[in-house]
């Protein structure tokens, strides 16, 4: 079964909106694992508007499944990841002022930089994943960076799912086939939800992991966290 990694940023957003420690981000991570999540993802940004660097440090001591830290590899982020030593680091090219991640890396233009960053983490046995658009050329150049996986940016698929899911997923299938050909593992994330997840899972060869946060937390407001995580896990079964 494909791993479900729960991005807990939104718990931190809610906490920070009021001050104090409600909801408790650390407890949220522990509960997500207890309810069946196979990984925890955080995306700390320099302004700490949701997950704080200290949250990431605190989570190191409680996460027992796969810990994935994603973000733009600026100096402070690189130092944080090396300090915490998570199972996986996902490199995302978002600038400090974006609301949410909105594009993948140009792996051709940034090949030299990404190769340097991947080497830093690979040398520490931290699995490297690069956030990419579903573009065969970008997959090919990602191979040269030394990354172990790519994470397919799925916003376009989600946005066009109800307009014709077969067309919406076509470029993702081609990108995934190229990644498999190049020997890269495949992750995916951004706007995957209970409506579109199962079709994506069934059609993407080599898919290993999905990272889901916003939609999952929104569903949990109505369904409860445990029921929601179990619902997402069911979507990742070939029924």
Strand partners for 211 = 5, 189
Residue that has been written with the tokens 């069911």 in this structure: 234
Split into its structural domains, the chain has a count of 1
Is-catalytic flag, 43?
yes
190 is catalytic: yes
Among 210, 152, 234, which Cα is nearest to 3's?
210
The single residue of 33, 38, 66, 70 carrying the catalytic annotation is: 70
Residue pLDDT, tens place only, 101-160: 557 999 999 999 999 999 999 999 999 999 999 999 999 999 999 999 999 999 999 999
Q: Which residues fall within 8 angstroms of residue 131, CB to CB, at 6 or more apart?
A: 70, 90, 91, 92, 93, 101, 104, 105, 150, 151, 153
Round the CA-based radius of gyration of the chain to a whole number and report it. 17
Instruction: Please give the span between the terminal C-alpha atoms of the chain, in angstroms, as a whole number.
Output: 12
pLDDT tens string, the chain, 239 residues long: the values are: 799 999 999 999 999 999 999 999 999 999 999 999 999 999 999 899 899 999 999 999 999 999 999 999 999 999 999 999 999 999 999 765 554 555 799 999 999 999 999 999 999 999 999 999 999 999 999 999 999 999 999 999 999 999 999 999 999 999 999 999 999 999 999 999 999 999 999 999 999 999 999 999 999 999 999 999 999 999 998 54
- Consecutive H or E run containing 203: helix 197-203
Q: How confident is the model at residue 113, as a pLDDT? A: 97
193 prior amide bond cis, ω within 30: no
Name the catalytic one among 38, 178, 190, 209. Answer: 190
Residue pair 198/232 in contact by the 8 Å Cβ criterion: no
Q: Measure Cα distances from 65 to 6, 39, 140 in Å.
A: 11, 5, 30
- For the chain, strand residue ranges (E) read 3-7, 39-42, 66-71, 88-91, 127-132, 149-153, 185-189, 207-212
**CA distance to 113, 130, 177, per residue, from 107 (Å):** 9, 9, 17
Which CATH number characterizes residue 171's domain? 3.20.20.70
The residue from 33, 38, 43, 50 that is catalytic is 43
- Whether the CB-CB separation of 172 and 204 falls below 8 Å is answered with yes
User: Is 70 one of the catalytic residues?
Assistant: yes
pLDDT at 24: 98
Angle at 26 between CA 20 and CA 31, to 5 degrees: 125
User: Domain span at residue 113?
Assistant: 3-235
DSSP 3-state of 172: helix
Q: Which tokens is 171 given? A: 């470029």
Q: What is the pLDDT of residues 137-152, one digit of tens each?
A: 999 999 999 999 999 9
Q: Are 45 and 78 in contact (CB under 8 A)?
A: no
Distances (CA, A) of 236 to 23, 33, 101, 118, 182: 28, 16, 24, 29, 24
Give the whole-angstrom CA distance, residue 196 versus residue 155. 11
């Amino acid at each position: 079964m494909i791993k479900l990694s729960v991005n807990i940023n939104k718990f931190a957003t809610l906490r920070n909106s009021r001050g104090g420690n409600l909801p408790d981000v650390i407890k949220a991570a522990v509960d997500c694992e207890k309810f069946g999540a196979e990984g925890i993802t955080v995306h700390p940004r320099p302004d700490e508007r949701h997950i704080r660097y200290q949250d990431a440090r605190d989570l190191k001591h409680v996460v027992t499944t796969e810990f994935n830290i994603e973000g733009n590899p600026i100096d402070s982020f690189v130092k944080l990841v090396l300090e915490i030593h998570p199972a996986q680091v996902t490199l995302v090219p978002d600038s400090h002022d974006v609301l949410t991640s909105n594009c993948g890396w140009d792996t051709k233009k940034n090949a030299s930089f990404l190769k340097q960053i991947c080497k830093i983490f690979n040398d520490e046995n931290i699995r490297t994943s690069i956030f990419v658009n579903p573009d065969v050329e970008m997959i090919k150049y990602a191979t040269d960076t030394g990354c172990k996986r790519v994470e397919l940016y799925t916003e376009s698929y989600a946005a066009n799912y109800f307009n014709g899911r077969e067309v919406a997923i076509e470029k993702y299938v081609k990108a995934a086939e190229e990644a498999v050909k190049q020997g890269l593992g495949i992750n995916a994330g951004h706007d995957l939800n209970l409506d579109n997840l199962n079709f994506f899972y069934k059609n993407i060869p080599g898919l290993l992991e999905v990272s889901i946060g916003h939609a999952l937390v929104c569903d949990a407001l109505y369904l409860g966290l445990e029921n929601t995580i179990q619902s997402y896990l069911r979507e990742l079964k070939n029924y």
